[in-house]
């Protein structure tokens, strides 16, 4: 029934447009609400594109099914066609009696604040606590990876926020040969992926694919023109014929180590070092290989092939560096805010940070109650916005979310002895072993000594332990009854074993 599907797609498009217009008319104050709205609109726009593509395929009617259906309706007896389609619908619902019906009006309608939003939880899980719903960057793990690179200058996290997109001296002390390592390649790849992911999460309504395409095209053009800073073909020639620098000319130059020494004694002492000896042997072996007449052609071919592979690897690294620079320049405001936030937190005490965290969670859990009447203050006080279903504190308001996570109140601990009662949080679970419900459940199983059954929640485990305890008690009691008592000449009563031991020792 293509005509019904066509009608459904038109209705879906109209509902999506109405849902977008309802959300665009809003002006949320909190950044979380704005991101929630933007991601909803982005999802609606993607669905509009998908539904429009399906609708266009129906109108094109490449297989002729729509034309055939129209002809079957317009020709012949209309009641026969109606009865036929009605019978098909009834047969379908007989085969699938529980088939759900999609309510488009309810699916795209803006929900009231008290009903909660499922997308809000999705937005909450998109960002880390350091990112604060896209307000700041979180480069702590990438900064640690940067510090683990070899031959790198150690900088603080605050300094790193200012120089992470600078890949040349004096901020970047790595040489071009050191940048060709796998560790550096993975580092710039992770940094570029994070910046791209951050932009997609914070700017869902922007055409970011167009921006990324322009970045790639600019890099391709600059690479073909050899205009990428620090990665030109003449910046560092590859091969044994590369010119060697002689330093500043003021000190003593070591051609093997390619290092300059300003002191003659230091230069002479380093000649006996393992590093110098190894470098001298490698240089001598390289010169011998290049000097053989039969190895010239093979050496040139090997150098050309190695230089091509090296050039491709350098191109991949340069592309990531170029992307990082462009993305960092587009997020300069967020970068500045991140530096200010890090400086502010470094000057705060632990108590001030905790108070700020409490205020942030309280603000994020606060209901956006802007549609209510101003004269119904008493009604608004009675309605508590609690979408996360947090426990209530002594004042009747939900406890802070950090306290909820700290005590693990979202973790369930079932107890079979208590009738499969579920305790929320470890503290309530440990406390219930001394409560009347658990003790009564043990007594129903015939268990009288309840102190030995802590941390046991299964009925089968409790019965096995109680059976073992009773068997051990019976065995101990039986062993005490079978002891034979002996009496010496003075009338002292003692066990039979002790009596014979003393008798052997001559004490009796």
With respect to residue 506, please indicate whether it lies within any of the assigned structural domains.
Answer: no
Do 313 and 292 have their domain in common? Answer: no
Do 273 and 227 have their domain in common? Answer: no
Q: Hey, how many other C-beta atoms are within 10 angstroms of the C-beta on 317?
A: 20
Do 84 and 110 have their domain in common? Answer: yes
Separation between Cα atoms, residue 194 and residue 335, nearest integer Å: 14
> Torsions phi, psi of 424, nearest 5?
-95, 115
With respect to residue 162, please indicate whether it lies within any of the assigned structural domains.
Answer: yes
**Which token pair is 87?**
């019978």
How do beta strands 259-261 and 421-424 pair?
A: unpaired
Instruction: Encode 260-276 in three state secondary structure.
Output: EECCHHHHHHHCCCHHH
Do 292 and 323 have their domain in common? Answer: no
With CA atoms as reference, report the closest residue to 365 among 392, 390, 393.
Answer: 390
With CA atoms as reference, report the closest residue to 335 among 139, 59, 151.
Answer: 139
Do 84 and 206 have their domain in common? Answer: no
**Is 298's pLDDT higher than 80?**
no
Separation between Cα atoms, residue 449 and residue 430, nearest integer Å: 18
Do 77 and 169 have their domain in common? Answer: no
With respect to residue 8, please indicate whether it lies within any of the assigned structural domains.
Answer: yes
- pLDDT of 198 reads 92
DSSP at 294: G
With respect to residue 491, please indicate whether it lies within any of the assigned structural domains.
Answer: no
With CA atoms as reference, report the closest residue to 3 among 85, 78, 77.
Answer: 85
Separation between Cα atoms, residue 501 and residue 508, nearest integer Å: 10
Do 20 and 100 have their domain in common? Answer: yes
Residues 373-402 have pLDDT tens digits of 444 444 444 567 777 777 877 677 888 888
With respect to residue 367, please indicate whether it lies within any of the assigned structural domains.
Answer: no
Do 293 and 315 have their domain in common? Answer: no
Domain that holds residue 191: 140-236+309-345
How large a percentage of the chain has pLDDT more than 90? 11
Q: If pLDDT is split at 50, 70 and 90, which confidence band does 369 have?
A: very low
Do 156 and 266 have their domain in common? Answer: no
Domain end marker among 58, 81, 116: 116
Q: Which stretches does DSSP call E strand in 301-448? A: 412-415, 421-424
DSSP string, 215-258: HHHHHHHHHHTT-STT--TTTS--STTPPPP-TTSSSEEETTTT
**Which token pair is 204?**
């869902």
Q: Contact at 8 Å (CB) between 262 and 250?
A: yes
Residues 101-153 have pLDDT tens digits of 676 767 777 765 555 444 445 677 888 888 888 889 999 999 999 998 887 88
Do 185 and 90 have their domain in common? Answer: no
End-to-end CA distance of the chain: 112
Residue 307 buriedness (CB in 10 A; 0-12 / 13-18 / 19+)? middle
Q: Domains in the chain: how many in total? A: 4
With respect to residue 469, please indicate whether it lies within any of the assigned structural domains.
Answer: yes
CA 32 to chain centre: 18
**Which token pair is 260?**
């300059």
Residues 12-57 have pLDDT tens digits of 888 888 888 888 888 877 788 888 888 888 888 988 999 899 889 8
With respect to residue 494, please indicate whether it lies within any of the assigned structural domains.
Answer: no
Instruction: Encode 47-96 in three state secondary structure.
Output: HHHHHHHHHHHHHHCCCCHHHHHHHHHHCCCHHHHHHHHHHHHHHHHHHC
Residues 461-487 have pLDDT tens digits of 999 999 998 988 888 777 666 667 788
Separation between Cα atoms, residue 349 and residue 274, nearest integer Å: 51
Q: If pLDDT is split at 50, 70 and 90, which confidence band does 256 have?
A: confident
DSSP string, 124-156: HTTS-TTTTTTTS---HHHHHHHHTSTT-----
The most confident of the ranges 71-80, 239-248, 345-354, 461-470 is: 461-470
Q: Contact at 8 Å (CB) between 413 and 422?
A: yes
Q: Which residue has the tokens 């590859």?
A: 238
Do 223 and 265 have their domain in common? Answer: no
Residue 127 buriedness (CB in 10 A; 0-12 / 13-18 / 19+)? buried
Helices (H), ranges, 331-400:
332-346, 350-364, 377-382
With respect to residue 400, please indicate whether it lies within any of the assigned structural domains.
Answer: no
| Close Cβ partners of 479 (under 8 Å, ≥ 6 residues apart) | none
Do 218 and 337 have their domain in common? Answer: yes
- Give the chain's mean pLDDT: 79
Separation between Cα atoms, residue 199 and residue 334, nearest integer Å: 11
Between 403 and 214, the more confident residue is 214
**Is 411's pLDDT higher than 80?**
yes
The CA dihedral of 142, 147, 153, 158, to the nearest 10 degrees, is 50
Q: Contact at 8 Å (CB) between 462 and 453?
A: yes
**Is 197's pLDDT higher than 50?**
yes
Report in angstroms the alpha-carbon separations of 469 from 274, 458, 461.
Answer: 71, 17, 12
DSSP at 169: T
The half-sphere exposure of 440 on its side-chain side, counting CA atoms within 13 A, is 5
């Amino acid at each position: 029934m293509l005509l019904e599907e066509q009608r459904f797609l038109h209705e879906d498009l109209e509902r999506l447009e109405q849902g977008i217009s309802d959300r665009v008319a809003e002006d949320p104050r909190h950044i979380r609400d704005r991101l929630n709205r933007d991601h909803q609109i982005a999802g609606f726009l993607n669905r509009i594109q998908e539904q429009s593509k399906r609708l266009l395929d129906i109108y094109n009617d490449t297989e002729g099914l729509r034309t055939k259906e129209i002809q079957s309706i317009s020709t012949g007896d209309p009641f026969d066609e109606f009865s036929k389609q009605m019978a098909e619908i009834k047969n379908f619902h007989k085969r699938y009696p529980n088939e759900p019906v999609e309510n488009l009006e309810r699916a795209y309608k803006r929900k009231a604040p008290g009903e909660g939003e499922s997308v809000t939880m999705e937005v909450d899980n998109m960002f880390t606590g350091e990112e604060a719903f896209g307000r700041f960057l979180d480069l702590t793990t990438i900064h640690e990876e940067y510090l683990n690179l070899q031959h790198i200058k150690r900088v603080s996290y605050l300094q790193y926020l200012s120089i992470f997109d600078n890949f040349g001296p004096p901020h970047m002390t790595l040489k071009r040969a050191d940048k060709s390592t796998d560790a550096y390649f993975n580092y710039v790849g992770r940094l570029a992926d994070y910046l791209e992911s951050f932009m997609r999460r914070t700017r869902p309504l922007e055409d970011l694919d167009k921006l990324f395409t322009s970045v790639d095209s600019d890099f391709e053009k600059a690479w073909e023109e050899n205009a990428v800073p620090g990665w030109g073909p003449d910046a560092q020639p590859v091969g044994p014929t590369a010119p060697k620098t002689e330093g500043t000319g003021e000190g003593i130059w070591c051609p093997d180590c390619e290092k300059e020494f300003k002191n003659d004694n230091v230069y002479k002492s380093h000649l006996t070092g393992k590093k110098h000896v190894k470098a001298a042997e490698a240089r001598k072996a390289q010169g011998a290989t290049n000097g053989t007449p039969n190895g010239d052609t093979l050496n040139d071919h090997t150098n050309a092939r190695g230089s091509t592979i090296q050039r491709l690897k350098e191109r991949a690294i340069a592309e990531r560096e170029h992307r990082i620079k462009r993305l960092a320049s587009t997020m300069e405001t967020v970068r500045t805010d991140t530096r200010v936030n890090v400086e502010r937190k470094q000057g705060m005490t632990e108590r001030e940070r905790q108070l700020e965290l409490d205020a942030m969670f309280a603000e994020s859990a606060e209901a956006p109650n802007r549609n209510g009447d101003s004269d119904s203050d008493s009604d608004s006080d009675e309605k508590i916005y609690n979408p996360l279903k947090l426990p209530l504190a002594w004042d009747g308001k939900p406890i802070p979310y950090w306290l909820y996570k700290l005590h693990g109140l979202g973790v369930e601990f079932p107890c079979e002895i208590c009738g499969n009662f579920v305790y929320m949080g470890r503290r309530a679970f440990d406390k219930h072993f001394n409560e009347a419900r658990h003790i009564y459940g043990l007594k129903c199983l015939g268990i009288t000594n309840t102190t030995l059954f802590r941390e046991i929640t299964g009925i089968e485990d409790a019965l096995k332990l109680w059976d073992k305890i009773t068997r051990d008690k019976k065995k101990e009691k039986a062993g005490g009854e079978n002891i034979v008592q002996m009496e010496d000449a003075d009338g002292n009563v003692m066990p039979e074993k002790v009596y014979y031991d003393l008798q052997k020792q001559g004490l009796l």
